[in-house]
């Protein structure tokens, strides 16, 4: 690794490729062999390397679940928190430290069940962060209970005769929220598309919500194996403003559909296609949506000196 000089003067430093992928890798990932989370981890480390994200300026916040072990495997700051609480922690980090790169790693149970209230408001607050929903449609860490995204009929420890409720569609739900600004979907077994989606999400100025359909070969093999093997199971949403793939990568998909990501009404229609085929790509993007972290960055119009004085006077109330 090459040491950089601090940029405290007017001398422009040449652009230096300072970090390699290995600089973001921490301990060996302990997910099961064949778990889709491994591919996602690799893609995120690659993004960090491509964007040369300073590890000391990058934070991964997670809740609870298989996916939420993610911060342990990154050599950056991390917060492995409480079940369903990744969003409020990440929002707090971003609100007070808008200079940090914030990522939220969550799962279908963590986000769409116990954390659903926080999910809704995080989308509305639209602070700049990348949210990666690892959706394997099951509670894996606790050994196979029905999750909010489990398909009807999923046999699990909570529903030994098969689940009976229709699942939540996280894309549809997110597209229905006020101030939503970026919604995309990809799958872990198409690495070029996964990588391009994560990059596009990182470049978005507000909160980017990415649902990653993630294989759990231990508990959901029968659900994902046919989809992985069937070339008709996926439709790629294609547009110059969307997830742009190299021509060779695009040719590998049998179904490609044009979709303008500025059209939220069409995006909601496309989200419903999930019943027949899984659409992947950028459903919707609005770079102009209001951002609460920008509001916070102005510190509500209060100067640093005024804030220090306010904190001191508050502390004085408790002086003994
Ligand atoms: Fe991955 Fe499933 Fe194993 Fe969890 S239980 S680590 S989701 S394969």
**Tens digits of per-residue pLDDT, 153-187?**
999 999 999 999 999 999 999 999 999 999 999 99
- With a CB cutoff of 8 Å and minimum separation 6, the contacts of 239 are 258, 259, 260, 261, 281, 282
Q: Would you state the pLDDT for residue 273?
A: 75
**Taking Cα atoms as reference points, which of 148, 276, 149, 142 lies closest to residue 219?**
142
Query: 2 lies in a domain?
Result: no
Q: Is residue 210 part of a domain?
A: yes
Name residues whose C-beta falls within 8 Å of residue 29's C-beta, 6 or more positions apart in sequence: 37, 38, 41, 69, 73
What's the pLDDT score for residue 13?
Answer: 56
Token pair recorded at residue 79 = 């917060």
User: Does 95 map to a domain?
Assistant: yes
Ligand 1 closest atom vs CA 143: 5
CA-proximal residue: ligand 1, atom 3 (nearest): 32
Does 194 fall in a domain? yes
Say whether pLDDT at 297 is over 90. no
**Arithmetic mean of pLDDT over the chain:** 92
Q: Report which protein residue has its CA nearest ligand 1's atom 1.
A: 35
Which atom of ligand 1 approaches the CA of 37 most closely?
1
Q: Is the CB of 130 under 6 A from ligand 1?
A: no
**Does the residue 15 lie in any domain?**
no
CB distance 125 to ligand 1 below 6 Å: no
Q: Does 47 score more than 80 pLDDT?
A: yes
Pocket mutation for ligand 1, best pick of 33, 34, 37, 138 (most atoms within 8 Å of C-beta): 37
Pocket test for ligand 1, best of 28, 30, 34, 35 (most atoms within 8 A of CB): 35
Looking at per-residue pLDDT, the higher value among 312 and 36 belongs to 36
The length of the chain in residues reads 320
Alpha-carbon distance of 232 to 119, in angstroms, equals 31
Measured CA to CA, the distance from residue 29 to residue 48 in angstroms comes to 17
CB of 170 shorter than 6 A to ligand 1: no
- Taking CB atoms within 8 Å and a gap of at least 24, the contacts of 14-20 are 17/52, 18/52, 19/48, 19/49, 19/52, 19/53, 19/54, 19/55, 20/49
> Residue 279 falls within a domain, yes or no?
yes
Kindly state the average pLDDT of the residues 228-238.
Answer: 93
Other CB atoms within a 10 A radius of the CB of residue 42 amount to 16
Residue spans of beta strands (DSSP E) within the chain: 58-62, 77-80, 101-107, 129-135, 138-139, 145-146, 182-187, 207-213, 234-238, 255-258, 278-285
Q: Give dist(CA 293, CA 137) in Å, integer.
A: 31
Phi–psi pair at 98, nearest 5 degrees: -65, -10
Index of the ligand 1 atom closest to the CA of residue 140? 5
32 in contact with ligand 1, CB cutoff 6 A = yes
Max intra-chain CA distance, the chain? 73
Query: What CATH number does residue 307 fall under?
Result: 3.40.50.970
Total domain count, the chain: 1
Mean pLDDT to the nearest integer, 142-147: 96
What was the pLDDT predicted at 274? 67
Q: Which domain holds residue 103?
A: 21-316
HSE of 224 in the Cβ direction (CA atoms, 13 Å)?
21
Residue 8 lies in a domain: no
Is residue 284 domain-resident?
yes
Please work out whether the CB of residue 219 comes within 6 Å of at least one atom of ligand 1: yes
């Amino acid at each position: 690794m090459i040491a950089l000089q601090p940029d405290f003067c007017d001398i422009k430093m040449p652009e230096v490729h300072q970090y390699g992928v290995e600089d973001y890798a921490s301990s060996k990932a302990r997910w099961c062999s064949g778990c889709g989370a491994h591919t996602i981890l690799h893609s995120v480390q690659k993004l960090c390397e491509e964007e040369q994200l300073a590890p000391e300026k990058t934070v991964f916040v997670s809740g609870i679940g298989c996916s939420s072990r993610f911060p342990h495997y990154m050599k950056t700051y991390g917060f492995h928190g409480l079940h369903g609480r990744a969003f409020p922690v990440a929002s707090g980090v971003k609100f007070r430290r808008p200079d940090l790169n914030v990522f939220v790693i969550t799962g279908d149970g963590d986000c769409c069940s116990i954390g659903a209230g926080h999910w809704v408001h995080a989308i509305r607050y639209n602070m700049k962060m990348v949210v990666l929903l690892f959706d394997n449609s099951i509670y894996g860490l606790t050994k196979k209970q029905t999750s909010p995204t489990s398909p009807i009929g999923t046999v699990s420890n909570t529903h030994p005769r098969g689940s009976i409720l229709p699942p939540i569609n996280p894309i549809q739900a997110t597209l229905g929220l006020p101030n939503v600004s970026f919604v995309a979907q990809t799958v872990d077994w198409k690495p070029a598309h996964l990588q391009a989606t994560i990059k596009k999400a990182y470049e978005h100025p507000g909160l980017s919500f990415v649902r990653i359909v993630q294989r759990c070969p231990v508990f959901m093999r029968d659900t994902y194996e046919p989809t992985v093997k069937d070339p008709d199971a996926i439709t790629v949403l294609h547009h110059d403003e969307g997830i742009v793939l190299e021509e060779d990568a695009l040719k590998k998909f049998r179904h490609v559909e044009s979709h303008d990501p500025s059209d939220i009404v069409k995006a909601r229609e496309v989200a419903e296609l999930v019943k027949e085929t899984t659409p992947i790509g950028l459903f919707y993007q609005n770079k102009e949506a209001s951002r609460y972290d920008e509001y916070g960055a102005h510190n509500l119009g209060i100067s640093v000196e005024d804030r220090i004085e306010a904190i001191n006077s508050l502390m004085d109330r408790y002086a003994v």
